[in-house]
Amino acid sequence: MKRKYNVLIVDDEFLARKLLTEYVSKMDFLNLVTTCADATQAMEVLNKEQVDILLLDIQMPDISGMEMIKLLNNNRVAVVLTTAYSEYAVDAFSLGVIDYLLKPFDYARFVQAINKAISYKMQEPQSEFSNDYIMVKADYKLYKVNFEDLLYIEGQHEYVTFHTVTKRITALYSLKNLEETLPKDKFVRTHKSFIVSIKNIEDIDKVNVTVAGNKIPIGLSYRDALIERLS
């Protein structure tokens, strides 16, 4: 069975979102996650859902498409810009975008961009991390977080906080992507907002797990899977 690639459309213009939705629907190997009218809403979606291809406008209120790209950090989504402005192309490609669609563009040009994005996704490594640590970009620095020192990860809208034995690091990451990429034998999701280190779980009751003295909630939809992992 051919893999389906999840697509997120971000554009503040309704007609642009409608056209892109129609284009995506014509390709049976694409799955539209949703459409967003601004970057803030889009970052919340990226934190909850696995997105492979991001179709992103540049000129949007509050946070522009270019600013949003800089916030993506370790999220290996393939970004295709869709814009009426040609002057951002050089900067866009320096930020690692896959393609730059200049409005108005036709379906054939859209297909070309999607094929580039899929080629990128097929070539990406299976894991963003080593077996022992993750590199976290925050506060204009790059932090090495050893899995041995990582107690739990707390999601806060589009941000996450890495709680370690010595410090806390807050960065813009997708909790969903972290859940899928972190070693399954070392970490487990307990709640929509928490991933915890299995080896640091001290006890568990009906509503919480205790990690290094911290009470971490257990979501109802995660409880059975958690108990199975720990048994």
Question: What domains does the chain contain, in order, with CATH numbers?
Answer: 5-123 (3.40.50.2300), 133-230 (2.40.50.1020)
pLDDT band at 94 (very low <50, low <70, confident <90, very high): confident
Mean pLDDT of 30-35: 96
pLDDT score recorded for residue 127: 37
pTM for the whole structure = 0.57
Which has the closest alpha carbon to 164: 174, 156, 153? Answer: 153
Distance from the Cα of residue 39 to its chain's centroid? 13
Predicted confidence (pLDDT) at residue 35 exceeds the cutoff of 70:
yes
**How far is it, in rounded angstroms, from Cα 155 to Cα 162?**
9
- Residue 34: pLDDT band with limits 50, 70, 90: very high
143-155 average pLDDT score: 93
CA-atom Rg of the chain in angstroms: 19
- Taking alpha carbons only, the member of 230, 208, 206, 226 closest to residue 217 is 208
Sorted by sequence, the CB contacts under 8 Å of residue 179 that are 6+ apart come out as 187, 189, 195
Angle at alpha carbon of residue 61, lines to 58 and 66, rounded to 5°: 30
Q: State pLDDT tens for residues 189-203.
A: 999 899 999 999 999
Q: Phi, psi at residue 110, to the nearest 5°? A: -60, -45
Note the pLDDT of residue 73.
Answer: 61
pLDDT of residue 47: 83
Q: What is the pLDDT of residues 70-86, one digit of tens each?
A: 888 656 789 999 999 99
Lookup: tokens for 152: 């739990």
Q: Confidence band (pLDDT; 50, 70, 90) for 125?
A: very low
- The whole-angstrom separation of Cα 134 and Cα 131 is 9
- Report the relative pairing of strands 159-164 and 150-156 from DSSP bridges: antiparallel
Task: Indicate the range of 85-89, 101-105, 134-138, 222-226 predicted with least confidence.
Answer: 134-138
Residue 122, pLDDT score: 73
Band (45; pLDDT cuts 50, 70, 90): very high
